[in-house]
Amino acid sequence: MPAWGERCDLWDDVVDWTLLEEFEFGDIPEDRFVMTSWHENQTLDEVFAYCKQLVLFDSVPLAQTVLLHIARQPAEQRIMDAYVQA
C-alpha cells in the first residue's frame, strides 16, 4: 500500500497499526499482510513506477489494483494516465 502526497506517512501508519491490532500484535498471516510505503517527496510518476516495476509480489498473487485518490479537486484522468504509463 503505497501512500503518496502531503502527510502520506499518516496513511502508512494507520494501515500498519490497524493490521497489527487486527491480529493482536502477533503474527500476521502471509495472505493478510500489507506492505506499506510512503512517498511524500516523490512524484506520482515515480511512485507508480516503483509500484509496477520494483515491487515484487512472489508470495501472494495480486488479482486487482485499487487507486484511491482523496483530494479537494478531482484528478481521475491524470492519475489513470500516470498509472498506465508507469
Residue ranges covered by each domain of the chain: 2-85
Q: Report if pTM > 0.75.
A: yes
- Average pLDDT in the 27-47 region? 93
| Lowest-pLDDT choice from 7-11, 25-29, 51-55, 76-80 | 51-55
Show the cell assigned to 62. Answer: 495480486
- Average pLDDT in the 45-57 region? 88
Q: What is the mean pLDDT of the chain?
A: 91
Query: Which is higher by pLDDT, 4 or 30?
Result: 4
